Homo-oligomer: A and B are copies of this chain.
Amino acid sequence: MPAVQAPQMRVGVIGLGGAARQMLPSFQTHPHVVIAAGADPREDARDAFSTEFSAPAFAHPEDLCSCSDVDVVYIATPHQLHREHAVLAARAGKHIIVEKPMALTLEDCDAMIEAAEHAKVLLVVGHTHAFDAPIIEMRRLICEGAIGPLALINNFNYTNFLYRPRRYEELRTESGGGAIYNQAPHQVDIVRLLGGGKVESVRSASWALDPDRPTDGAYSAFLQFEGGAVAVIVYSGYDFFDSDQFHDWVGELGESKPSGLNGSARRALSALPAGADESALKAQRGLGGKPSPSHDDPASRAHPHFGVTIVTGRDGDLRQTARGLEHYGREGIREIAIPGPKVFPDKSGLVDEMYDAFAGQQPLLRDGHWARATMEVCLAIRQSALEGREIQLSRQVGI
């Protein structure tokens, strides 16, 4: 009897910037994924991609989508283009991975879901840190009752987000910039995964504290879940306090991080000569650029994470740690080690989930409806902050 051959999943990448560069190693590491094509308007990015992956790179996403040897399109273009490119891919019959945020409006999310369903293709949004192995394990433990019924999910993250190099549009909320569009999807995806998915209402506040970077850089929100659990999320990207101090000085991607760098991202930007092009610095993070040296050390590689996550249930607490989880129960503390990432940065949770659905092994845990519900929460965070009142939600789905 012949062994069943695991199918190959051939991925085309639209948008060869910083997000793609961070995602590509996790595609490469999967034994049944092939990086089949790329697309980007910038010639240097295309050249770098073709050289590195021995695959064609196109100037136009249409050409990538018409490749017969592409099964899945990974869309890592600027947020405003997500809808257009997702619809393009769906019409070409390609499965779709879209970077977060899914889109800037629920109408765009609707159109993307409709296109995918009409074409009968898979649609998943990520990477978000809800695909990190410790979060997935935390959910598994919650589902099997390890801490009893959930009460309170606490996630806070203090970072230098606002002082990473940006394009002009990324510094304006109305064009998809700022912490709510770009960081809240991580937090909301995490707390929804842990809390069961269905957020009933949102009360929030947000702040734009730096007139030179006039977009929201901090927010906090109180999320009421169906069933009585609540998530409290706090975020500041102003490069002051750094909450990785409470996570063994492990950075967002799992890298060891020197202490005491607080404020250095802001100072590095301030030190740019007058007239220097910040967006060119941003482009250096993509294919064809010169990214900063990786701080990865395979020997000490920890799990990626998004701030501090502590979950309280009737029978115990769970906390994400650099090496896995800690479980605090009636009998005391139990360390739950999770084997370290095989790749840096580790976004393999997303690749695995898409591959397993592609190969027919199990349905997508998180599809377009899931991702739209996360965007509904993010948009409600923005709206509640603007209007100073609690916002009721209507597009939520469970898991």
For residue A305, CB closer than 8 A to chain B, the reply is no
Chain B residues with CB under 8 Å of A246's CB are 246
- Size category of the binding interface on chain A: 35 or more
Whether A19 is near chain B, meaning CB under 8 Å from some CB there, is: no
Q: Mark A244-282, 1 if CB is under 8 A from B, else 0.
A: 001000000000000010111011000000000000000
Q: How far is it, in angstroms, between the C-alpha of A222 and the C-alpha of B202 when the chains are bound?
A: 11
Complex Cα spacing A218 to B232, Å: 13
Chain A window 179-212, contacts with chain B (Cβ cutoff 8 Å), 1 for yes, 0 for no: 0000000000000000000000001110101100
Partner of A262, one of B210, B228, B332: B332
Interface presence of A241 (CB below 8 A) = yes
**A168 contacts the other chain (Cβ, under 8 Å)?**
no
Chain B min CB distance to A161 (Å): 13
Q: In the complex, what residue of chain B is closest to A238 when comparing beta carbons?
A: B312
CB of A388 within 8 Å of the partner chain: yes
CB atoms of B263 and A332 under 8 A apart: yes
* B220 with A154: CB separation less than 8 A: yes
Tell me which of A59-67, A291-299, A313-321 binds B: A313-321
A53 CB within 8 Å of chain B: no
Q: Is the CB of A262 within 8 A of B328?
A: yes
Known contacts A203-B222, A263-B329, A319 near B241 by CB under 8 Å: yes
Interface pair A236/B312, CB less than 8 Å apart: yes
Interface of A: prevailing SS: strand
- Please state the number of chain copies in the assembly: 2
Interchain CB contact (< 8 A) of A156 among B154, B218, B221, B240: B154
Chain A, range 341-399, C-beta contacts under 8 Å to B: 388-390
Inter-chain CA distance A183–B234, complex, in Å, is: 21
A207, B330: Cβ atoms closer than 8 Å: no
Q: Is the beta-carbon distance between B203 and A241 smaller than 8 angstroms?
A: no
A228 → chain B closest CB, angstroms: 7
A220 to B152, Cβ gap below 8 A?
yes
* Interface pairs (15), CB distance under 8 Å: A148-B209, A151-B218, A154-B234, A203-B222, A205-B224, A207-B312, A218-B312, A220-B232, A236-B317, A241-B328, A262-B328, A263-B329, A263-B330, A263-B333, A267-B331
The 9 closest A-B pairs by CB, nearest first: A240-B317, A240-B328, A222-B222, A241-B317, A205-B230, A151-B207, A209-B314, A203-B203, A263-B332
